[in-house]
């Protein structure tokens, strides 16, 4: 019986967590790579790589006219400086059906992910 519990735990940890399973103060690994264009360095691209770790600092519900969003704010420890800022890009999240997309940007050494609140129970960008 202990073996079965261990296998279930291991298999769960190998797959992306859903957004509603993410907790503040925990560290997560990116489950896919993506790029963000930097605003202060024209033409430069910030590469966020699968396996890179981020600590979830805050989850903020946002109400914008016409949309309910949830903002996930992660500490970006590999930040090259507090002044680094990227443009927001729309990132398709792997292994979601129908396809879920998030808005992602880096500002003041924080990775900010904007998600439609209706998609909280779908796979996240993190494991």
pLDDT in tens, 22-67: 999 999 999 999 999 998 777 799 999 999 999 999 999 999 899 9
In the chain, beta strands by DSSP E? 27-29, 34-37, 45-48, 53-64, 67-75, 89-93, 100-107, 110-116
Q: CA–CA separation, 15 vs 38, rounded Å?
A: 30
Q: In the prediction, which pLDDT does 9 show?
A: 41
Q: In the prediction, which pLDDT does 78 show?
A: 87
Domain ranges across the chain = 16-119
Q: In the prediction, which pLDDT does 29 show?
A: 97
At residue 80 the predicted structure's pLDDT band, cuts being 50, 70 and 90, is confident
Q: CA–CA separation, 17 vs 125, rounded Å?
A: 8
Residue 113 token pair:
């992910």
At residue 7 the predicted structure's pLDDT band, cuts being 50, 70 and 90, is very low
Q: CA–CA separation, 102 vs 76, rounded Å?
A: 17
What pLDDT digit, counting tens, does each position of 98-123 carry? 999 999 999 999 999 999 999 999 99
What is the Cα Rg of the chain in Å? 15
Task: Name the nearest CA neighbour of 69 among 120, 7, 35.
Answer: 120
Q: In the prediction, which pLDDT does 1 show?
A: 52
b/e string for 14-52 if b means 16 or more Cβ within 10 A? eebbebeebeeeeebebbbebebebeeeeeeebebeeee
């Amino acid at each position: 019986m202990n073996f079965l519990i261990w296998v279930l735990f291991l298999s769960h940890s190998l797959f992306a967590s859903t957004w509603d399973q993410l907790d503040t103060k925990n560290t997560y690994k990116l489950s896919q790579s993506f790029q963000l264009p930097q605003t202060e360095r024209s033409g430069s691209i910030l590469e966020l790589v699968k396996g890179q770790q981020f600590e979830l600092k805050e989850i903020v519900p946002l109400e914008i006219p016409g949309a309910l969003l949830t903002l996930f704010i992660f500490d970006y420890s590999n930040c090259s400086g507090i002044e680094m800022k990227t443009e927001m890009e729309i990132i398709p999240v792997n292994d979601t059906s129908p396809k879920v997309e998030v808005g992602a940007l880096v500002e003041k050494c924080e990775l900010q992910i904007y998600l439609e609140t209706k998609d909280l129970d779908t796979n996240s960008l993190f494991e």
